Structure 1
């Protein structure tokens, strides 16, 4: 492995772990706030215990997210010094604002964790809401920085110089709104299905049934709503990519030749040398419609992109197919869940529905990882789209491969610790009620 591949692999590894920690950290406080609100409104002690249990999970992911995010900040400067030299003054504003949001989140989380029976109940609840809002703002601001890399704005690039810098325009670039929307909805869907899946597993084991039923209902509702909204945000994002980054869209869809009434490719293995997709199902005209809202519209293929500017096709295409497939799976489960709540209430306690949620526990985060793979690999060979190549931004320092091995060990160790802490937390959930005889999970 050469240093360039090692540097890219290290960033991919770091982002791959951090995105899971950050998604949970920015979404779980809202679950916590809903459970807390229900306790304050109903006085039901089960909701109080759910809130306390979830707050400990929030604290775990806040800590791990802070560690992994700090490591990413250092990696940007150490692995990509030329990128930071030129890009830092342009897109530094969202990072500085993210630091402020993180600071507010830390204070609010401290108030919430140590404020039980010390603050007014509604003020205590409010501090939990602040944790969620500031965490969500933090995530959106980081996405704004990444969106700038896909749609650079706020400067003039003249003779290799970055002039007339406008940080506000850079932050609110053309890709910001669609990426922020898509990522936010994805975070809610992934976290909702993951948390609901864990509680579904515990219900299948008939452990602390009342506690896990209440928790499952809240998490499943969030996840199901987000799963229904996600295809809509994906459509917005896809149309935006078609307009700004036609090379990325062509790689995602393995669309090799420019044509009108372009077909949507389902599955398949791209053959980049032959310029075709094998073993795929093609739906005529649908790609044109999804990209431009017109079944006859021309869609740019990779044949219109200079060979040296083309992204790889295999990885973005497979990742995109995985993301869409998992999204459709979660959408199907969400629609079943809503139908059960509306017409078939008995299904909510059925073992088959719980098994579906249990099986879908990792689906959302696999989709998130696949989506970020599409975003980052589909932008190659650019680190700043159309302005700076990734190969020109990497550090000249030798021995990056050893740093990659070290960081791999650190992240794997951190993940083991997180899994252990979460497992212990789940096992320590207090037994609120024994399983009553009339509760059926058949």
Structure 2
């Protein structure tokens, strides 16, 4: 492995690790706030217990996310000094605002964790809401910086110089809304299904059915609503990519030849040498419609783009197919859940429905990882789309491969520690909030 590949691999590892904690940190506080609100309105102890249990999980993921996020900020300067030299002054604003949002989140979380029986009950609830809002704002600001890499704005690039810098235009570039929307909805879907799946497993095992059924309902509603909204946000994002990054769209769909009535490719194995896709299902005209709103519209293929500017087609295509496929599975489960919630109440007590959520526990986060792979790999060979190549930004320092090995070991160890802490937390929930298994069916509200 050369240093360039090692630098990219280390950044990919760090992003892939951090994004899980970012999603949970953005979303779990809202689950916590809803449970807390129910306790304040109903005075049922089960909701207080859920709030306290979830708040401990939020604290664990906040601490881990803070560590992994700090590492990422250092890696930008250490691994990609050519990028930061020019890009730092342009998109530094969303990063500085993200730091502010992070500090607000930390302060609010401290108030919430230590404010039980010390603050006015509604002020205490508000601090929890602020944790969620500031975490969500933090995520949006980071995505805005990434969107700038896909849609550079807020400067003039003249004779190799970055002139007339406008940080506001850079932050609110043409890609920021579609990327931020898609990421936020994905975070709610992934976290909702993961949390609901864990509580569903506990219900199947007969552990604290009252506690876990209430928690399951809150998480499942959030996750199901997000899963239904995700295809809509994906459509907005895809249309934006079609306009700004035709090479990325072509790689996502393994679309080698420019044509009208372009087919949507489902599955398949891309052959870049032969410029074909084997074993794929093709739906005529659907890609044209999804990209441009017209079944007869022309969609640019990779043949219209210089070969040196082609993204890695296979990786991008497979990641896109995984993201979409898992998203559709979650959408189907969400539809089934709402049918049960509104029309078929007896389904809510069925183990087959709970097993669907248990099966879906990791799917959202796998889809998130696949989506970020599409975003980052599909932009290659550019680190700033159309302006700076990734190879031009990497550090000249040798020995990056050893840094990659060390960070891999660190992240693996950290993942094991977090898994152990969460496992212990779930076991503690069983001891602290245990209730007779027959006290509440899933339909109890």
Compared with structure 1, are the counterparts of its residues 371 and 438 closer, same or farther at alpha carbon in structure 2 (3 Å cutoff)?
A: closer
1:76 equivalent in structure 2: 76
1:202-240 per-residue CA deviation (whole Å, 9 max, x = no partner) reads 001000100000000000000000000000000000000
Instruction: List aligned pairs for 1:4-403, cutoff 5 A.
Output: 4-403=4-403
Cα shift at 1:431: 3.2
Instruction: List aligned pairs for 1:388-427, cutoff 5 A.
Output: 388-427=388-427
> 1:20·1:365 contact (CA, 8 Å) conserved in 2?
yes
Structure 2: tracts of 5 or more residues without a match: none
Cα shift at 1:367: 0.2
Cα shift at 1:432: 3.7
Question: Which moves more between the two structures, 423-432 or 131-140?
Answer: 423-432
Asked if residue 433 in structure 1 is aligned to residue 435 in structure 2, the reply is yes
Q: Distance in 1 between matches of 2:252 and 2:222?
A: 29
TM-score (norm 1): 0.99
Compared with structure 1, are the counterparts of its residues 440 and 220 closer, same or farther at alpha carbon in structure 2 (3 Å cutoff)?
A: closer
1:103-150 per-residue CA deviation (whole Å, 9 max, x = no partner) reads 000000000000000000000000000000000000000000000000
Q: Distance in 2 between matches of 1:8 and 1:276?
A: 28
Q: Distance in 2 between matches of 1:266 and 1:437?
A: 47
> 1:46·1:432 contact (CA, 8 Å) conserved in 2?
no
Cα shift at 1:439: 4.3
Cα shift at 1:437: 7.2
Q: Distance in 1 between matches of 2:124 and 2:281?
A: 54
1:35-66 per-residue CA deviation (whole Å, 9 max, x = no partner) reads 00000000000000000000000000000000
1:70-104 per-residue CA deviation (whole Å, 9 max, x = no partner) reads 00000000000010000000000000000000000
List, as ranges, runs of 4+ consecutive aligned residues in structure 1 with deviation greater than 2 Å. Answer: 437-441
Cα shift at 1:438: 7.7
SS for the counterpart of 1:146 is helix
**Matched residues, number:** 441
SS for the counterpart of 1:153 is coil
Q: Distance in 1 between matches of 2:290 and 2:328?
A: 16
Q: Distance in 2 between matches of 1:362 and 1:24?
A: 13
> 2:3·2:401 contact (CA, 8 Å) conserved in 1?
yes
